[in-house]
């Protein structure tokens, strides 16, 4: 699975332009999970990540390429204890998986399970609002959570723990970016990730590959391996019939 590799490379090139710190990864320090979405009232809020007029962004990429040797949490910007008001915010997750084989359906299922994990982490006092339409993510952080010591290391550990529950996930890199320019430069990649995921859905809903009459052609022309995946699947279906 290398469909997202070009985006991963471009993302890391952009991230490396910022002053990035590697935070310690300790899954036993994951922030307590609420188990379900929690409402943090405005009056209890310390600040919002990506709130108000601040830009925000969220996307997740999967690869079987060896892009890391262990789990990682990267931060560009202040930690949660140092933030005094609303700030721009991007949370990007890169997942390195075991080889998913040439079973395209298995690959697609794995992506779907990882998508599920993305929306099912509920750190206490850290209310996440996502817009899948615009790839934005806003987080309201409660005063109580800040008082109790919530940090990006503990929230990052919560995400890593959740993703590690998904079969085949080997390593997870969680990136928190709080710099306006970096968030805005990465915006186009969120759209591209979305395009790839939508095209995969199209491929599995329309087994026959008819590139001449397909709205996804521009995505398949750009993303290496996409066309091969669809044609391989179509051939497999033909052989079965
Ligand atoms: S391979 Fe062809 S038919 Fe399949 S999604 Fe891409 S452009 Fe459409």
Q: Whose CA is nearest to atom 6 of ligand 1?
A: 220
Q: Is the CB of 3 inside a 6 Å radius of any atom of ligand 1? A: no
Q: Whose CA is nearest to atom 1 of ligand 1?
A: 227
Give the C-alpha separation, 87 to 71, whole Å: 26
Fold topology of 5-185: 3.30.1650
- Best residue among 198, 200, 210 to mutate for probing ligand 1, ranked by most atoms within 8 Å of CB: 210
Nearest to 204 by CA among 226, 223, 222: 226
- Return the pLDDT at 211: 87
Q: Whose CA is nearest to atom 2 of ligand 1?
A: 211
Q: What confidence tens digit (pLDDT) does each residue in 62-106 have?
A: 999 999 999 999 999 999 999 999 999 999 999 999 887 666 667
Could you tell me how many residues make up the chain? 241
Q: What mean pLDDT is reported for the chain?
A: 90
Give the C-alpha separation, 131 to 9, whole Å: 25
Q: What confidence tens digit (pLDDT) does each residue in 13-68 have?
A: 999 999 999 999 999 999 999 999 889 999 999 999 998 899 999 999 999 999 99
For residue 78, the CA-to-ligand 1 centroid distance in Å is 43
**In what side-by-side order are the strands of the sheet with 89-97?**
20-23, 72-76, 169-177, 89-97, 56-63
- Return the pLDDT at 121: 94
DSSP run (H or E) holding 112: helix 104-118
Q: Is the CB of 195 inside a 6 Å radius of any atom of ligand 1? A: no
Q: Is the CB of 211 inside a 6 Å radius of any atom of ligand 1? A: yes
Mean pLDDT to the nearest integer, 171-186? 96
Atom of ligand 1 nearest to the CA of 229: 1
Q: pTM score, two decimals?
A: 0.91
Residue 155 C-alpha from the chain's centroid? 14
* pLDDT beyond 80 at 241: no
- Return the pLDDT at 103: 65
For residue 202, the CA-to-ligand 1 centroid distance in Å is 8
Q: Contact 27/160 with Cβ under 8 angstroms? A: yes
For residue 135, the CA-to-ligand 1 centroid distance in Å is 24
For residue 214, the CA-to-ligand 1 centroid distance in Å is 6
């Amino acid at each position: 699975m290398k469909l997202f590799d070009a985006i991963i490379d471009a993302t890391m090139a952009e991230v490396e332009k910022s002053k990035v710190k590697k935070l310690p990864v300790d899954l036993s320090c994951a922030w307590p999970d609420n188990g379900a979405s929690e409402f943090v009232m405005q009056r209890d809020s310390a600040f919002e990540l990506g709130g108000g007029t601040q830009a925000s962004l969220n996307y997740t990429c999967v690869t079987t390429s060896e892009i890391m040797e262990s789990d990682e949490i990267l931060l560009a910007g202040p930690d949660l204890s140092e933030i005094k008001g609303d700030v721009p915010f991007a949370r990007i997750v890169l997942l390195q998986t075991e080889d998913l084989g040439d079973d395209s359906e298995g690959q697609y299922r794995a992506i779907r399970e990882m998508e599920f994990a993305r929306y099912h982490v509920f750190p206490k006092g850290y209310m996440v609002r996502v817009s899948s339409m615009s790839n934005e993510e806003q987080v309201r952080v409660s005063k109580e959570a800040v008082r109790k010591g919530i940090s990006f290391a503990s929230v990052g550990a919560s995400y890593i723990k959740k993703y590690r529950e998904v079969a085949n996930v080997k390593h997870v890199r969680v990136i928190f970016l709080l710099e306006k320019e970096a968030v805005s430069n990465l915006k186009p990649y969120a759209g591209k990730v979305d395009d790839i995921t939508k095209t995969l859905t199209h491929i599995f809903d329309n087994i026959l590959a008819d590139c001449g009459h397909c709205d996804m052609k521009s995505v398949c022309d750009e993303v290496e391996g996409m066309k091969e995946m669809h044609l391989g699947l179509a051939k497999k279906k033909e052989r079965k019939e």
